[in-house]
Amino acid sequence: MRIVNEKYLALIWNWDDSEKGNLQHKFQTNLERLVYAVQERMETGDAPSPEALRSLAEELQEAGELLQQSAENCLAVARVMYTSTGDFAANPDKLQSIEAHIGKPVILSQTSAPEIEGRQLILHEIRGIKAILKDGDSFWEALIDFVVPVEEIQKGTVDGD
Protein backbone atom coordinates (compact mmCIF):
# COMPACT_ATOMS: atom_id res chain seq x y z
CA MET A 1 0.00 0.00 0.00
CA ARG A 2 1.25 3.45 -0.85
CA ILE A 3 0.12 6.45 1.13
CA VAL A 4 1.34 9.87 0.12
CA ASN A 5 0.79 12.76 2.49
CA GLU A 6 2.55 15.98 1.65
CA LYS A 7 1.96 19.52 2.84
CA TYR A 8 -0.25 20.45 -0.12
CA LEU A 9 -1.22 17.00 -1.25
CA ALA A 10 -3.28 14.56 0.71
CA LEU A 11 -3.79 11.54 -1.48
CA ILE A 12 -4.40 8.01 -0.39
CA TRP A 13 -3.79 5.35 -2.96
CA ASN A 14 -3.88 1.65 -2.20
CA TRP A 15 -2.62 -0.72 -4.88
CA ASP A 16 -0.74 -3.59 -3.29
CA ASP A 17 -0.52 -7.27 -4.24
CA SER A 18 -3.67 -8.02 -2.26
CA GLU A 19 -5.67 -5.39 -4.17
CA LYS A 20 -4.34 -6.64 -7.51
CA GLY A 21 -5.06 -10.24 -6.56
CA ASN A 22 -8.61 -9.47 -5.45
CA LEU A 23 -9.36 -7.60 -8.66
CA GLN A 24 -7.86 -10.32 -10.81
CA HIS A 25 -9.75 -13.02 -8.92
CA LYS A 26 -13.06 -11.20 -9.02
CA PHE A 27 -13.02 -10.06 -12.61
CA GLN A 28 -10.93 -12.69 -14.37
CA THR A 29 -11.01 -15.96 -12.51
CA ASN A 30 -14.64 -15.71 -11.45
CA LEU A 31 -15.71 -14.52 -14.91
CA GLU A 32 -14.01 -17.55 -16.47
CA ARG A 33 -15.72 -19.80 -13.92
CA LEU A 34 -19.07 -18.18 -14.73
CA VAL A 35 -18.66 -18.76 -18.46
CA TYR A 36 -17.61 -22.35 -17.85
CA ALA A 37 -20.57 -22.98 -15.53
CA VAL A 38 -23.10 -21.53 -18.00
CA GLN A 39 -21.60 -23.52 -20.89
CA GLU A 40 -21.62 -26.69 -18.81
CA ARG A 41 -25.28 -26.19 -17.89
CA MET A 42 -26.19 -25.55 -21.53
CA GLU A 43 -24.39 -28.73 -22.63
CA THR A 44 -26.25 -30.81 -20.03
CA GLY A 45 -29.62 -29.38 -21.04
CA ASP A 46 -30.01 -27.41 -17.80
CA ALA A 47 -29.50 -23.97 -19.34
CA PRO A 48 -30.43 -20.89 -17.33
CA SER A 49 -33.65 -19.24 -18.42
CA PRO A 50 -33.46 -16.54 -21.09
CA GLU A 51 -34.49 -14.02 -18.44
CA ALA A 52 -31.66 -15.10 -16.14
CA LEU A 53 -29.15 -14.91 -19.00
CA ARG A 54 -30.45 -11.48 -20.03
CA SER A 55 -30.17 -10.22 -16.44
CA LEU A 56 -26.66 -11.65 -16.13
CA ALA A 57 -25.68 -10.02 -19.45
CA GLU A 58 -26.93 -6.67 -18.18
CA GLU A 59 -24.89 -7.03 -14.96
CA LEU A 60 -21.77 -7.98 -16.91
CA GLN A 61 -22.29 -5.05 -19.27
CA GLU A 62 -22.56 -2.65 -16.33
CA ALA A 63 -19.45 -4.13 -14.67
CA GLY A 64 -17.53 -3.87 -17.94
CA GLU A 65 -18.54 -0.25 -18.43
CA LEU A 66 -17.54 0.70 -14.87
CA LEU A 67 -14.23 -1.13 -15.14
CA GLN A 68 -13.55 0.46 -18.53
CA GLN A 69 -14.21 3.94 -17.15
CA SER A 70 -11.95 3.26 -14.17
CA ALA A 71 -9.22 1.95 -16.47
CA GLU A 72 -9.47 5.01 -18.71
CA ASN A 73 -9.28 7.30 -15.67
CA CYS A 74 -6.20 5.48 -14.32
CA LEU A 75 -4.44 5.69 -17.69
CA ALA A 76 -5.28 9.38 -18.13
CA VAL A 77 -4.04 10.29 -14.64
CA ALA A 78 -0.90 8.17 -15.12
CA ARG A 79 -0.15 10.03 -18.34
CA VAL A 80 -0.64 13.43 -16.72
CA MET A 81 1.65 12.53 -13.82
CA TYR A 82 4.26 10.91 -16.07
CA THR A 83 4.37 13.77 -18.54
CA SER A 84 4.71 16.28 -15.69
CA THR A 85 8.28 15.06 -15.18
CA GLY A 86 11.46 14.74 -17.18
CA ASP A 87 11.65 15.56 -20.86
CA PHE A 88 7.90 16.00 -21.21
CA ALA A 89 7.83 18.71 -18.53
CA ALA A 90 10.69 20.52 -20.29
CA ASN A 91 9.05 20.08 -23.71
CA PRO A 92 5.23 20.09 -23.30
CA ASP A 93 4.67 19.83 -27.08
CA LYS A 94 6.48 16.47 -27.22
CA LEU A 95 3.41 14.45 -26.21
CA GLN A 96 1.20 16.26 -28.72
CA SER A 97 3.77 15.55 -31.42
CA ILE A 98 3.74 11.87 -30.54
CA GLU A 99 -0.08 11.76 -30.37
CA ALA A 100 -0.25 13.39 -33.81
CA HIS A 101 1.61 10.38 -35.20
CA ILE A 102 -0.96 7.76 -34.23
CA GLY A 103 -1.35 5.61 -37.33
CA LYS A 104 1.99 6.83 -38.70
CA PRO A 105 5.54 5.48 -38.62
CA VAL A 106 7.75 5.92 -35.57
CA ILE A 107 11.00 4.45 -34.33
CA LEU A 108 12.16 3.75 -30.79
CA SER A 109 15.13 5.66 -29.42
CA GLN A 110 15.96 2.60 -27.33
CA THR A 111 14.63 -0.91 -26.94
CA SER A 112 15.71 -4.22 -25.47
CA ALA A 113 13.99 -6.10 -28.33
CA PRO A 114 16.48 -6.67 -31.18
CA GLU A 115 13.58 -7.57 -33.52
CA ILE A 116 12.41 -3.95 -33.65
CA GLU A 117 15.60 -2.03 -32.95
CA GLY A 118 16.03 0.72 -35.54
CA ARG A 119 12.91 -0.35 -37.46
CA GLN A 120 9.96 1.81 -38.36
CA LEU A 121 6.80 0.74 -36.57
CA ILE A 122 3.28 2.11 -36.73
CA LEU A 123 2.10 3.96 -33.63
CA HIS A 124 -1.19 2.16 -33.07
CA GLU A 125 -2.34 3.94 -29.91
CA ILE A 126 -1.19 5.49 -26.67
CA ARG A 127 -2.40 3.88 -23.45
CA GLY A 128 -1.44 5.91 -20.42
CA ILE A 129 2.36 6.09 -20.42
CA LYS A 130 2.80 3.35 -23.02
CA ALA A 131 2.79 3.41 -26.77
CA ILE A 132 1.28 0.44 -28.55
CA LEU A 133 3.27 -0.16 -31.72
CA LYS A 134 2.33 -2.34 -34.67
CA ASP A 135 4.83 -4.29 -36.73
CA GLY A 136 2.85 -6.21 -39.33
CA ASP A 137 0.63 -8.53 -37.31
CA SER A 138 2.68 -8.10 -34.12
CA PHE A 139 2.13 -5.53 -31.42
CA TRP A 140 4.80 -4.10 -29.14
CA GLU A 141 4.63 -1.89 -26.08
CA ALA A 142 7.10 0.84 -25.13
CA LEU A 143 7.20 3.82 -22.82
CA ILE A 144 6.13 6.94 -24.66
CA ASP A 145 9.42 8.69 -23.99
CA PHE A 146 11.22 6.24 -26.30
CA VAL A 147 8.89 6.94 -29.26
CA VAL A 148 10.34 9.16 -31.96
CA PRO A 149 8.02 10.21 -34.81
CA VAL A 150 9.49 9.69 -38.27
CA GLU A 151 9.26 13.15 -39.80
CA GLU A 152 10.36 12.20 -43.27
CA ILE A 153 10.19 8.82 -44.92
CA GLN A 154 12.39 8.06 -47.89
CA LYS A 155 10.89 9.78 -50.91
CA GLY A 156 10.34 6.60 -52.93
CA THR A 157 8.30 5.03 -50.13
CA VAL A 158 5.91 7.95 -49.73
CA ASP A 159 5.41 8.71 -53.42
CA GLY A 160 5.16 5.06 -54.38
CA ASP A 161 8.12 5.44 -56.79
- Residue 150 and residue 120 in contact, taking contact as beta carbons nearer than 8 Å: yes
* % of the chain at pLDDT higher than 70: 85
The answer on pLDDT for 6 being more than 80 is no
Instruction: List pLDDT tens digits, range 94-130.
Output: 888 899 999 999 999 999 999 999 999 999 999 999 9
Q: What confidence tier does 3 reach under pLDDT thresholds 50, 70, 90?
A: low
The answer on pLDDT for 61 being more than 90 is yes
Q: Please give the residue that has the higher pLDDT: either 8 or 156.
A: 8
The answer on pLDDT for 87 being more than 70 is yes
Instruction: State how far the alpha carbon of 79 is from the alpha carbons of 95, 108, 113, 142, in Å.
Output: 10, 19, 24, 14
User: Considering only CA atoms, which of 102, 155, 156 is closest in space to residue 126?
Assistant: 102
CA distance linking residue 81 with residue 130, whole number of Å: 13
The answer on pLDDT for 158 being more than 90 is no
Instruction: List pLDDT tens digits, range 9-34.
Output: 545 666 788 889 998 988 899 999 99
Sheet holding 105-108, edge to edge: 138-143, 130-135, 121-127, 105-108, 147-149
User: What is the pTM (predicted TM-score) of this model?
Assistant: 0.74
What pLDDT is recorded for position 160?
A: 38
Q: Which helix (H) or strand (E) holds 70?
A: helix 50-82
What pLDDT is recorded for position 97?
A: 87
